[in-house]
Structure 1
Amino acid sequence: MRRILSMVLAAALALSMLSTAAFAQTGETTTIKVFHTNDSHSRAKEVVDSKTGELTNIGFARFKTFIDSQEADGKLILDAGDTFHGMPFATIENGNSIAKILKAVGYDAISPGNHDFNYGYERLDVLSYRAGVKPLAANVTIGGKNAFDKYLIKNIDGVKVGVFGLATPETAYKTNPKNVAGLDFGDKESLIATAQQMVDELQERDCDVIIALCHLGVDPTSDIKSTDIANAVEGIDLIIDGHSHTELDNYKVGDTYIASTGNYLENVGMVTIKVKDGEVLSVEPKLYSAKELKNLPEDSKVKAIVDRIDENQKSILDVVIGKTPITLDGERETNRGGHTNLGRLITSAMLEETGADIALTNGGGIRATIEKGDITKGDVINVLPFGNYIVTKQVKGQDIIDALNFGMDFGAGGFPHFAGMTVEAKKVETTAEDGTTKTKGQVLSILVDGKPIDPNATYTLATNDFMASGGDGYTMLGNYPIENEFSALDEALIRYLSKVGDEGIKAIDAEERLILTDVAKNPALGSGTAATAPSTPSVPDDSDKNNPSTGRWAA
C-alpha cells in the first residue's frame, strides 16, 4: 500500500512539474533574440583597414562574443545564405572551413544562397550536416520531392518559434547550371503559394512566432523579392533576408519586418521579439556595424578554430597545380599600364569557363607574379586574392567600346585586360584644367572573333563581379542584369592552367590582343569630361562611319 501511495505521489509530482514547464510563461513576457547574417561570402575573419586602423569586417569570432553578451530567454542564430563560398579561405577546402566555424558559433539554420551551390547540391548537404545547421528551402524540389527541410520549430521558454526557408529561383542561372541539375526552384507564383502554405502549417503546429529565412533580396531586377513575400503572404512576423547585399534596419512591409545585414560581415543583425500569452507584442530589428562592435574581443574558441584552419591551409596552398615555362607577369606597373601574359591567361580562363564572346577584367585585380617553374595553389591565390567570381552579361557593342575607352587609363587599376577580341588604340596625352597630364587610350578598331564589333549588336560578356557592379568606374556595365554566375577567378585559372600546359601558356604569351600606337596630343580637358574622355563617339553617324571591312573608325 505504501509503495502504491509513493508511486501515485511521484506521478502527481511529475505531472505538476510538466505542467509548470509547459505553462511557465503564462502571463509573463518572453524575450527572444534572433541573431542573423547574410552574404558573408566566406569573409570569416576580422578585417582592419591598413590605412585607418578601423575594423571594417566583424568576423565570426567577434560575432560569437556579441551573441554571448546578450541576455534573453532564448536565442536563434540564422544565416540567409551565400556563406560557404567566396574567398580562398573557403574554396580551397570546398567550404569545409566555413562549416567548422558555423558549428562553433552555433547556427540553427541557413537559407541556401545561389553561391552555396557552387560546389554542387550534394556538397551543400554535406557542408550543412558538418556545420550542424538545417538548410531550409521549402520551394526547392528534386523529382517532385523537397530537396531540403522546409522548416524547423524551436521551443523557447514555452514559446514555439517556426522558421521556414526560401531560396531564390535565380540560383538556376546564378551558379553553374551543372551544380543544380535536377533541382526545381519554382517561380514567383509558386514561391508565394509555398510561403503561405508554410505559414499555415506552422500555425497548425501552434507556432507563436513565424520567421521566413530567405535568400531572395530586394533588387528591383529580381522577379521574386522578399518584399513580394511580405506583401502577399499573411502571418509572417519577420523575414531574415539576403542576396541583394542590402542593409535593411527596422524596415517594414505591411505587418512584416524585413532585416538584412548587407554583406561581408560589415554588419550583423539582432532582432528582439517579445511574446506574451502566445501573442507577439513587438519585433525590433537592429543592425550593428563593425565600428559599433570594434571594442568587443573575439571569442577565443572560434578564433582558435580560424587560426588552426589558417595554419592547416598552408600545406594546401603548397599543392602544385601546374607549371609554367616562363614567368607570368603580375607586376602592378605592367598590369596597370598595358597587357601581360598573365592578364591574357586569366581572361582566356574566363572565356573557357563561360563560353562568352568576350572576357574583361581589371589590371588592378592582378596582384602577383608567378615565377617560371611549378605553380602552387598559393601562387594563384596570391595573384587573385579578392575572392571575385565570374559573371556573364548581355552587353551592347557600344558599351564595350565605351568601357575600353574609359578603362584604358594608363597607370590606373581599372586598365582593361581582355580575351575574345583584338583592339587597336592610340595613346592620347590629355591635360586637365589644373595642368596635370595623363595618358589615355583611344580605341581605333575592335575585332570580335575576327569580325568588326557592331555597336548595335549584343555580345555575351564575361567579367568579374566587381566590374559587373560598376566597380573601377565601369558604370556602363553595371546597368545590365547578370545573366549567369560562375566559379571564383582563382578556381577558373587553376583549371585552365592545368588544361593548357606549357604549349598553351607559350601560345598565349605570344598573342597580341592590344595594339597601341604612339602618343598624340589632345586638347585640354574640362573638369567635367576628364574622367571619361577621350571617347569613341556613340553609334557612328555619316561623318564617322564604321568601316565594315576593318572595324576601324575614321580618326
Structure 2
Amino acid sequence: MPAAPRRTRRRTFAFLGTTAALATAAALTAALPAQAHPGHGGHQHPGRYQDVQLLSFNDLHGNLEPPSGSSGRVTERQPDGTTKTIDAGGVEYLATHLRQARQGHPYSVTAAGGDMVGASPLLSGLFHDEPTIEALNKLKLDVTSVGNHEFDEGARELARLQNGGCHPTDGCYTDKKFKGADFPYLAANVLDDKTGKPILKPYWVWKKKDVRIGFIGVTLEGTPGIVSADGVKGLKFKDEVETINKYAKVLQRQGVQSIVALIHEGGFPASGSYNYDCDAGGAGTGISGPIVDIAKNVTPAVDALVTGHTHNAYVCDIPDPSGRPRMVTSAASFGRLYTDTTLTYDRRTGDIARTAVKSANRVVSRDVPKAQDMTDLIARWNTLAAPIGNRTIGYISADIGNTGTESPMGDLIADAQLAYGKELDPRTSLALMNPGGVRAGLTYAAKGAEGDGVVTYAEGFTVQPFANTVNLQDFTGAQLVQVLKEQVSGANAAAPKILQPSANLTYTLDLTKSGADRVVTDSIRVNGAPVDPSATYRIATNSFLAGGGDGFPTLGAGTGDLVGADDLTALEKYLTANSTPSAPIAPPATNRITITQ
C-alpha cells in the first residue's frame, strides 16, 4: 500500500527568546526564509538560522514485529471526509522510515516519549525487553523520557536497562553481556525516597556544532496508581509542570535556550484519524485530557512538547502561559507512526524561532524495504523464543477484539479468571479484569505458519504480558457495589475505567447521569440475583487490582486473600479446556454491561 499523504502544518506566532529578539520579531520573520536554507545543508557558511529535524515516537511497548489486528493499523482521513485504514508498524519498517527521513538533514535528533518497554509481546517481554533496547540502539534513538511501564519491574531493572548487565535471576540470554541503552532515559520527576534526587538524569543536551537543544523528561505524576506497588517502591513522583519548569531554569542558567519537554502524559483528540486538523476550531480546541492543562502551564521557555501515554495521534497547538501557541505532538503507539518536526534554531539568541515550527505525523507504512539489521535482530531473538512461543494453547473461531467499553477479549479473560478461581476455591463468585491489563486481542488468522484459529503462547503473552497473579478476596455486596461505582467516580471520574466482568455479573451503565450515579445500583445482578449488601462475595482479580490499582481503593480492602498462579496461566487453562480444532471458542457476546446514553 502506498505511503500516506504527508500533512504538514505551519504556525505563525511570536518568538520565545530575549527581549531584543522580541523587539525585532517582524524583521526576523521577514528574513527567516532566505536565511534558514543556507544553514540547512551545512555546505555553506552557517547562516543565522538552522533547521533542526526532531523525529519522535512514543509507547513502542516492545512491538518489534508488526502488531496484528487493529493494533497494527492507523486511520487516515481523506480529502472528501471519509477514512481508510493503513497497516502500519514493525521495527523493520520504522527503521527504514526513520533512516529515509534523516537523509539530507545533518542536524537531526530522535527522541521518544516513554513506554519504550513494558507490556511487550513475548519476543521482547520474555527477555525482559533486552531485544527492544538493542533495537532502539540500532534505530539511533538519542533520548527518551521514562513512562509508567518502565517501572513494571521496578527501578533496579530500569537501571539495568540503562546501564547494562545480565538479569539478576535469569542471567544472560546469549554469550554476550547485555550492554544497556546507548541513549539516556530521563526521569526528572521520579525521585529516590531516601536521597530526594532523580533516579536517572533529569535532562540532557543535544549538541551539533554550535547548536544546542535541551531535553527534559518526565512521566505522569499518577504513575503509582497504574503500576504495581513493588514497581514504584521507594520512589516519589512529582508534579510534571513544576518539574519541567524547574529544569528549564537550570538549562537556561547553563546557556541552553532551546528546550523540548518529553512528557509521558497525553490527551484525547477529537478525531481518531492521525492526520486530522487538530486546530480547525482554533489552537487547543481539538484535544482534551491531562496534557492540555500541563501544556498551558509549562513555562514558555519550553519550545515544544513530545507526549505519549494515551496511545493517540495528534499534532496540536496549545497556548503556553503567555497565550502563544506551542506545538504538542504524539505518535499513537506500537511504532505505527513517527512525528517529523522542524525546529528552526536562531544562532543569535540560541532559541527556537517559533515562527518556523512545523510538524506532522508520518505513517510507518509497510510498503518500504525492511531494515536488514532489524530483520536479523528479530530472527535471532525469535530463535531463542520459539520453543516457548510457538506452543499451541487454544483455538478461536473468529477475531476476539479488544475495543469498546466492554470488549470480547476482556470478557474472555474475566471468564478465564472466574474458572481458575473456582479451581482454587469453589466459593468464587465472579471475576473482574481491568481494561488496561488487556494489551491486545486474539486474531483468527495471525501468522500463516501457525494455521487459522490457532492461539499460541506468544499470542497469549501479547494479550497478558504483566505476569500478575490471580488473587481471590472476600467482599461484601456493598463493597462490590462501591467497586463498580469507582469505575466512574473518584480517581476515575474524568476518565472512567470500566472493569471487564465475568459472564455471571450484569448491570446497567447510564451515561446520561454523572459520577457514581452512572452505575444503576438496582440493576446489578450476580448469577441473575440482585446483590445482597450484607452477603459475602469471593471475587477473582489480578494482583494489580487486588492492591487497589487503577483507582479502585475498595479492591485493596478485601479479606481472605488467596494468591494463585499468573493470569496468563489462567487464560491458557481456560482456552485449553474450552477449545479444540473442531470446536474453537467463539468471541463472547458483549452483553454483560447494558449502556444507556
TM-score between the two structures when normalised by the length of structure 2: 0.56
**Are residues 1:259 and 2:317 paired?**
no
C-alpha distance in 2 between matches for 1:533 and 1:340: 12
Residue number in structure 1 paired with 2:177: none
* SS of residue matched to 1:73: coil
Q: Give 1:88's aligned amino acid.
A: L
Give per-residue Cα distances to partners, 1:141-188, cap 9 Å, x unaligned: 1021221101111112311111011111221121111111000002x4
Match of 1:452 among 519, 531, 541: 531
| Aligned residues of 2:506 and 2:592 also touching (Cα < 8 A) | no
Pick one of 495, 508, 511 that aligns with 2:566.
Answer: 495
Q: Counterpart in 1 of 2:432? A: 359
Q: Distance in 2 between matches of 1:495 and 1:303?
A: 32
**Structure ranking higher on relative contact order (CA contacts 8 Å, 6+ apart):** 2
- 1:135 alignment counterpart: 185
Return the letter of the residue paired with 1:252.
I
Q: Aligned partners of 1:218, 1:340: CA distance in 2, in Å?
A: 29
For 1:289 and 1:500, how far apart are their aligned partners in 2?
34
Counterpart of 1:273 (choices 322, 343, 347) is 343
2:202 pairs with 1:202: no
Match of 1:215 among 264, 274, 289: 264
SS of aligned partner of 1:42: coil
Distance 1:509 1:349 in 2: 15
Task: State the shift of 1:231 in Å.
Answer: 2.7
* Cα distance in 1, alignment partners of residues 482 and 461 from structure 2: 29
Q: What does 1:335-374 align with in structure 2 at a 5 Å threshold?
A: 343-345=415-417, 348=420, 358-360=431-433
Verify: 1:233 aligned to 2:299, yes or no: yes
What's the counterpart of residue 541 of structure 1?
none
Structure 2 segments unaligned to the other structure (5+ residues): 1-43, 74-83, 164-179, 270-286, 401-407, 445-454, 472-477, 488-499, 508-522, 556-562, 579-588
In structure 1, the residue matched to 2:57 is: 37
| Partner deviation per Cα, 1:272-320 (whole Å, 9 max, x = no partner) | 1111322422221210124xx443322221222122222221145379x
Deviation at 1:459, TM superposition (A): 12
1:283 aligned residue: 357
Q: Name 1:192's counterpart in structure 2.
A: 241
Matches of 2:161 and 2:393, distance apart in 1: 35
Identity among equivalent pairs (%): 16
C-alpha change, 1:535 and 1:232, in structure 2 (3 Å) is: closer
The 3-state SS of whatever aligns with 1:102 is: helix
| Pairing 1:65–2:96 present | yes
Q: Any idea what SS the aligned residue of 2:357 has?
A: strand
Question: Quick one: which amino acid aligns to residue 158 of structure 1?
Answer: D
Between Structure 1 and Structure 2, whose CA radius of gyration is higher? 1
Per the alignment, residue 232 of structure 2 pairs with: 180
Residues 122 and 458 of structure 2 are in contact (CA less than 8 Å); yes or no, is this contact kept in structure 1? yes
Q: Which residue of 1 aligns with 2:373?
A: 301
Amino acid at match of 1:79: A
The answer to whether structure 1 residue 381 and structure 2 residue 455 are counterparts is no
Per-residue Cα deviation, 1:457-510 (whole angstroms, up to 9, x for no partner): 999995899xx9xxxxxxxxxxx97559x9xxxxx9963687999xxx89x989
Deviations 1:183-214, CA, capped at 9 Å, x for gaps: 0002x4xx322211211111121224201111
Distance 1:27 1:314, change over 3 A: same
What do you get for the CA RMSD once the two structures are aligned?
5.5
State the secondary structure of the residue aligned to 1:169.
coil
Q: 1:453 to 1:156 in 2, by over 3 A?
A: farther
Kept in 1, the 8 Å contact 2:248–2:259? The answer is yes
State the match for 2:37 in structure 1: none
Task: Determine helix, strand or coil for the equivalent of 1:147.
Answer: coil
Which residue number in structure 2 is paired with residue 373 of structure 1? none
2:262 partner letter: L
Task: Give the whole-Å Cα distance in 1 for the aligned partners of 2:381 and 2:182.
Answer: 18
Per-residue CA deviation, residues 117-139 of structure 1 (Å, 9 max, x unaligned), is: 11221111111331212110111
CA distance in 2, matches of 1:307, 1:46: 13
Secondary structure of the structure 2 residue equivalent to 1:164: strand
- Counterpart amino acid of residue 91 in structure 2: F
The one-letter code matched in structure 1 to 2:109 is L
TM-superposed CA distance for 1:346, in Å, is: 7.0
CA contact (8 A) 2:257 2:301 kept: no
Aligned amino acid, residue 211 of structure 2? V
| Other-structure match for 2:109 | 76
Is the Cα contact below 8 Å between 1:380 and 1:493 reproduced in 2? Answer: no
Q: Does the C-alpha gap of structure 1 residues 328 and 134 become closer, same or farther in structure 2, counting only changes over 3 Å?
A: closer
Checking the alignment, whether the CA contact within 8 Å between 2:190 and 2:235 is kept in structure 1 is: yes
Task: Note if contact 1:346-1:493 (Cα within 8 Å) is conserved in structure 2.
Answer: no
Aligned to 1:243: 309
Pair 1:92-2:163 in alignment: no
User: Using the alignment, how far apart are the partners of 2:540 and 2:293 within structure 1?
Assistant: 30
SS of the equivalent of 1:131 reads coil
1:292-351, Cα deviation, whole Å (9 max, x unpaired): x443322221222122222221145379xxxxxxx9875549x989x9999434774799
Aligned to 1:112: 146
Letter in 1 for 2:138: A
**Partner Cα distance (2:141, 2:531) in 1:** 54
| Residue 268 (structure 1) shift | 1.1
- Residue 56 (1) aligns with residue 136 (2): no
Give the residue type in structure 2 aligned to 1:418: S
Q: Is the alpha carbon distance of 1:223 and 1:138 closer, same or farther for their aligned partners in structure 2, counting shifts above 3 Å? A: farther
Q: Secondary structure at the match of 1:225?
A: helix
Cα distance, 1:423 vs structure 2: 5.8
In the alignment, structure 1 segments of 5+ residues that lack a partner are 1-23, 320-326, 369-377, 404-415, 426-442, 469-479, 487-491, 511-529, 539-555
Tell me which amino acid in the other structure corresponds to 1:359. L
Match of 1:169 among 221, 243, 264: 221
Cα distance in structure 1, aligned partners of 2:418 and 2:45:
61
Q: Is the 8 A contact 2:144 2:262 kept in 1?
A: yes
Counterpart CA distance in 2 for 1:264 and 1:350 is: 36
Paired with 2:45 and 2:215, the residues of 1 have a C-alpha distance of 21
- CA contact under 8 A between 2:390 and 2:458: conserved in structure 1? no
1:27 matched to 2:61? The reply is no
The answer as to whether partners of 1:38 and 1:242 remain within 8 angstroms in 2 is yes
Secondary structure (helix, strand or coil) at the match of 2:97 reads helix
Q: What's the offset of the Cα at 1:452?
A: 2.9
Q: Distance in 1 between matches of 2:542 and 2:370?
A: 36
Question: Structure 2: how far apart are the matches of 1:77 and 1:398?
Answer: 46
| C-alpha separation in 2, matches of 1:47 and 1:244 | 17
> Aligned partners of 2:262 and 2:222: how far apart in 1?
16
The number of residue pairs the alignment matches comes to 416
Q: Is the 8 A contact 1:62 1:296 kept in 2?
A: yes
* TM-score relative to the length of structure 1: 0.60
Amino acid at match of 1:39: D
